[in-house]
Chain A
Amino acid sequence: MSTEALTLNDVTIDLRQKRILENIHLDVAPGSFTCLLGPSGCGKTTLLRAIAGFTPLSRGDIRLGRRSITHLPPEKRQTAMVFQSYALWPHMSVGENLGYPLKLRGVPREERVRKVAAMLERMELGGFESRTVTQLSGGQRQRIALGRALIIDPPLLLLDEPLSNLDAAIRRSLRSELRRLQKSLGITTIMVTHDQEEALQMADQIVLMRGGHIVQVAPPQTLYHQPADLAAARFLGVDNTVTRQTSDPAMASAATTFGFRTRDALINAPQHPAMLTRKGRVTECVYTGDGYQVSLSTERAELCATSATPIAPGTFAVVQVPQSALIPFGPDDRHLPPLDRQEDIA
């Protein structure tokens, strides 16, 4: 089966009289990797489950390619999903787990055995057929779950936080492995994650969600440098905000607030007129490995900045932020100039 585009139109979901998702419009290009990113409770997992058919829609339409799958039961949708818990069947061996979807499709035994072996080979777990699921490590289980989903050659792959149960080192290596595999198969993939770093590294397109709405749909670079509003910016690691002053750089004249990341803010650098400058008293200085993270108390706000050398708390220091690192926001906390959400869908 060839990979297909996914279109969500006006998807609205209510669970127990509570609105979980409202008015979701989304286009996913065939073969692309889309991340649903957002804090827990934003509805991203519900959206994924709705695509898989586990959560009924109150309104709206889901299309896979040209056909509407809105009213199909999960088993008819062909949307292979990898669960957060992997959901491998413990009463079956690894080979039986991988073979079960084929068995359901009436694939003859010999072909099943051959396909399972090939998939295990692809997952670099060749010869694991007779192992029990409980004997596998977390990373191995994750790969078996992925292989089980891919073995039916689905038009759409759904991943529900597939890496969040693994420890940091395996997670990092699996990120690139997963991305390589997705690219080589060219399969349309939607992944749910709450980890912005993961989303930025893996996705072609990130769907930023909050409170049951889509806040922004953009490629990683755009999302990182031009978050749609202040809350989105905070979620993406923009941890400092300052109110605009007359002496600040003359960019984005309507902006009332600037946001910037701690790593872009420098302490006691040579004075430069094109930089945003604030003075403050140092309250804390913490070693972070690459340098020092300095907390300052200025007239209007608490700020964080980086410094190559330690700075004694209690002393006064100057924070400077280059114009390129400033993210301008209007009085309504929205990015300036306003971003058209649909335009960002690359």
Chain B
Amino acid sequence: MNITRVLSPIGLGLLLGVVAFIVFGPLLNLALWAFAEQWFYPNRLPTGWGFSFWERVFRPRAGAWTSLFNTVLVAFSAVILSMALAIPAGYALARQALPARNVIMLLFLLPQAFPNLPIFVNIAAIFYQWGLNGTLIGVVLVHSLPGLVYAVWIATAAFSTVDRSLEEAARNLGASPLRTFIGITMPQALPGLLAASIFVFLDSIDEFTGTFFVGAPEITTLPLLMFNASMGGNYQVAAITALILLIPSVGFMLVIERFLKADVLSRVGR
């Protein structure tokens, strides 16, 4: 007992260190690669530092800007599309009797139960017939598919926590069903809906497989650019792309966090 008591702070510290290394080690390596001009095998650290690869990446013809624009555009479109479907679906499911709801929710999860690759290959085959391959719409659709599952699940959870008597009170005092939904139900479910949006957005930002089969080569997103760079052994370009990829994710999360905080505070009260 005593030994464990003495060792436990040290053990805990060590454990935290290992976890930190596992989490941040690759990120650190990434940061090193982003600013390395020369880094060959026996050297532990890069032998030349600089920004010349940044210049190469951001050259107008290198495609980084287009990819970034595509990535963000596709992510926002996927959020809008998924939420447009998930909000009514989630509300309907939340107001269902439980057994029926569970069956439908499980059905929704079913696509996720299969391996991604065959699903995307088949989607690509279908989209090819419809002429959606290589179009932004096709990529948005393929990004919305996994996002929709999360979105519907989270939205259902968010709507089912809304106290029904709040809606009834609004109806009772003269609000139409639509007015009640917009004025009472939606604001109550907002934190959950925002959380669902984050999921879809982040899922879309680093979606690779679907984009690869449906979008490439016409549509390039940052993950595709990164893949090409890594496969070509150009770790600098890959690392820089990865860092750029962080910008929309972090930005979106900061914005959402502001909303979430204000809302949660007003709800929990002081």
- A residues adjacent to B (C-beta < 8 A): 52-54, 73-75, 77-81, 83-85, 87-91, 100-101, 104-105, 132, 134-135, 148-149, 152
Contact = CB atoms under 8 A, between A and B. Distances in A.
Contacts of A132: 266, 269
Given A75-B173, A152-B173, 17 more contacts: A53-B171, A54-B168, A73-B171, A74-B171, A74-B172, A83-B169, A84-B165, A85-B165, A88-B169, A89-B166, A91-B188, A91-B263, A100-B173, A100-B175, A132-B266, A148-B169, A152-B174
Interface stretch (B4-12, B54-62, B81-89, B179-187): B179-187
B187 to A, nearest CB: 4
B171 A75 contact: yes
A89 B184 contact: yes
A134 B268 contact: yes
Nearest to A135: B269
Given A74-B168, A89-B166, A89-B184, A149 B267 contact: no
Given A87-B169, A89-B169, A105 B266 contact: no
Nearest to A133: B269
B123 interface: no
Given A101-B173, A134-B268, A152-B174, A87 B168 contact: yes
Contacts, number: 74
A154 to B, nearest CB: 9
B117 to A, nearest CB: 44
Interface in B248-270: 263, 266-270
Among B171, B174, B187, B263, the most chain A Cβ lie within 10 Å of the Cβ of B174
B264 to A, nearest CB: 11
B165 A100 contact: no
Nearest to A77: B172
B interface, over-half SS: helix
A251 to B, nearest CB: 49
B269 A75 contact: no
Contacts of A81: 168-169, 172
Contacts of B267: 90-91, 134
A285 B166 CA distance: 49
Nearest to A97: B169
B218 interface: no
Given A89-B184, A91-B187, A79 B172 contact: yes
Interface of B: 163, 165-166, 168-176, 179, 183-184, 187-188, 263, 266-270
Contacts of B174: 75, 78, 101, 104-105, 152
B176 A75 contact: yes
Contacts of B171: 53-54, 73-75
A100 B170 contact: yes
B172 A52 contact: yes
A148 B165 CA distance: 14
Contacts of A83: 165, 168-169
Given A85-B163, A100-B170, A100-B183, A75 B175 contact: yes
B184 A75 contact: no
B266 A149 contact: no
A132 B179 CA distance: 22
A183 B163 CA distance: 32
A329 B176 CA distance: 51
Among B168, B169, B176, the most chain A Cβ lie within 10 Å of the Cβ of B169
Contacts of A52: 168, 172
B188 to A, nearest CB: 6
18 contacts: A52-B168, A73-B171, A75-B171, A80-B173, A81-B168, A87-B165, A87-B166, A89-B166, A90-B166, A91-B188, A100-B170, A100-B183, A104-B173, A104-B175, A105-B174, A132-B266, A148-B169, A148-B173
A100 B175 CA distance: 9
Given A89-B166, A90-B188, A75 B183 contact: no
B179 A104 contact: yes
A52 B170 CA distance: 12
A79 B169 CA distance: 11
B113 to A, nearest CB: 33
**Shortest 7 CB-CB distances between A and B: which pairs?**
A134-B269, A87-B169, A101-B173, A87-B165, A74-B171, A91-B187, A104-B174
Among A75, A77, A132, A149, the most chain B Cβ lie within 10 Å of the Cβ of A75
Nearest to B190: A91
Contacts of A77: 172
Contacts of B184: 89
Nearest to A152: B173
